[in-house]
Amino acid sequence: MLLTVVDYGVGNLRSIAKSIEKANFDNNLNYLVKVSSDVNDVKKSDKIVLPGQGSFKACKKGIDNIKGLQQELNESIIVKKKPIYGICAGMQLFATTGHEEEKTKGLNWIPGEVIKLDVTSSKLKIPHMGWNELKVENNSKVFEDGMNNNHAYFIHSYEFIPENKKAISITTNYGKDVIAAVSLGNIFGSQFHPEKSQSTGLKILTNFLKI
């Protein structure tokens, strides 16, 4: 089976791929993990990981710059229902609209908006950076009750607010409840970085591989 980590010019791709390869090896699974910007690799994939680093606008531009990539992602995820995992800004791209730098259209797979993280009432710093505790709101195949009270690593200044609250899988508290992970059908994503979240991250990646 093929899992493609989509290379569209953003994210720490090698670190993500190595974490997936470890989950694959530790569980005796049979995935070829490939980092690729080739639309044909996305087309042939059984599962897809969409990383993201930097602004919503820059990430969307990276996808737009690869001819046919958004069309193939839509075909793979919406039509063929392949499982996808989005990481950080990669998850934010699932939204309808992002407001970082300027209003930018997202992939619109999980309707909602990406807005500036507002924690002014708590006097906490932005970006939200470091380890925070997870609270499971809605179980999914990737995010499950056993992750309650575990910790994951965050670094972000914007947050994804989906319209459908049932799509919210995990929250964390950073001056207020912040959405940490989403799930909707075959679409999964986390604001935190599983590749930087040690055993919690490996468990999540393992769950994704086992779908």
What are 130-158's pLDDT values in tens digits?
A: 999 999 999 999 998 889 999 999 999 99
Class level of CATH domain 2-210: alpha beta
Which of 59, 72, 88, 156 is flagged as catalytic?
88
Written as six digits, the tokens of 118 are 């507002």
User: Using CA atoms, how far apart are residues 135 and 177, in angstroms rounded to an integer?
Assistant: 10
pTM of the model: 0.95
Is 193 noted as a catalytic residue in this protein?
yes
Written as six digits, the tokens of 120 are 């002014």
Taking 90 as the threshold, does the pLDDT of residue 3 lie above it? Answer: yes
78 to 22, 84, 108, 187, 205: CA distances (angstroms): 28, 10, 10, 9, 21
Residue 125 binned pLDDT confidence (cut-offs 50, 70, 90): confident
- Which tens digit of pLDDT belongs to each residue from 74-112? 999 999 999 999 999 999 999 999 999 899 999 999 999
Residue 46: closest CA among 186, 164, 199, 148: 186
User: Using CA atoms, how far apart are residues 92 and 101, in angstroms rounded to an integer?
Assistant: 14
Taking 80 as the threshold, does the pLDDT of residue 11 lie above it? Answer: no
